[in-house]
Amino acid sequence: MSDIHNNYKSVLHNIRETKKKISNFPRDFKLIAVSKTFGESVIIQLLEKGHKAFGENKVQEAEKKWMGLKKQYRNVDLHLIGPLQTNKTKKALEVFDCIHSIDREKLVKKIQNTLELDTNLKSKNHSFFVQVNTGEETQKSGINLKDTYDFVLWSKNEIKLNVIGLMCIPPVNEKPAKHFIKLKTLSDKLKLPFTSMGMTNDYLEAIEHGATHVRVGSAIFGKREVII
Ligand SMILES: *Cc1c(COP(=O)(O)O)cnc(C)c1O
């Protein structure tokens, strides 16, 4: 068995063990395999195992890799987990099924305009997560915690964006738990069904705190050559 198959198996095993520990494991839990920086031949190993949900953090890289793969493998579910520049909105909507990095009014409006102008694109029924800067880090994308509630309601009710949950990336040198709790609490208050949180170092802890979508890269594909 290849390393990737072994890694994948242990991640699934770890998730199953954690599932036993918690009472409310989400019914539509999703493991997003983050394939950024890895090429098609590596990704295919997981596609061949029947895995469907993948994450990429760059629109151009994803387009290059996935336009072909999506034709070869049906029902791939591709998630944009990195920041989205407004000028790449259309491309992003073409390539991705779900976008986790909604964080400003301009982007929400641009997405909705783009979908309204293109019924074909609209029929893909994209879903969206609002990214929350739970650590209030100045350099990080994501909307401030205090602005999130109104922003989500506005995006959903006025702009009619299909917001399904909240997403966060905790600061690297802090314990992630308090950020997971903040995100989950706010998500519950907004009655959103999904929370995207947890990466290789903390996905099990995130699940214990109510994550429905975990984004796991290196635990599955191995160390990345390029740090991004
Ligand atoms: C790269 C990345 C991940 C996956 O990171 P790993 O530590 O390799 O699991 C998850 N979420 C985001 C937003 C990322 O950019």
Token pair recorded at residue 88: 């790449």
One pLDDT digit (tens) per residue for the chain, 228 residues = 679 999 999 999 999 999 999 998 999 999 999 999 999 999 999 999 999 999 999 999 999 999 999 999 999 999 999 999 999 999 999 999 999 999 999 999 999 999 999 999 999 999 999 999 999 999 899 999 999 999 999 999 999 999 999 999 999 999 999 999 999 999 999 999 999 999 999 999 999 999 999 999 999 999 998 655
Token pair recorded at residue 110: 């641009």
Whole-number Å distance, alpha carbon 200 to ligand 1 midpoint, is 7
Cβ–ligand 1 contact at 199 (below 6 Å):
yes
CA-closest residue to ligand 1 atom 7: 200
Residue count of the chain: 228
Whole-number Å distance, alpha carbon 153 to ligand 1 midpoint, is 27
- CB-based contacts of 196: which residues, under 8 Å, 6+ apart? 32, 81, 100, 129, 165, 166, 167, 168, 211, 212, 213, 214, 215
pTM here is 0.97
Question: Which residues in 71-89 are b (16+ Cβ under 10 Å) and which e?
Answer: eebeebbbbbbbbbeeebb
**Which atom, in ligand 1's list, is nearest to the CA of 81?**
13
Cβ–ligand 1 contact at 79 (below 6 Å):
no
CA terminus-to-terminus distance, the chain: 29
Cβ–ligand 1 contact at 215 (below 6 Å):
yes
Cβ–ligand 1 contact at 81 (below 6 Å):
yes
Cβ–ligand 1 contact at 217 (below 6 Å):
yes
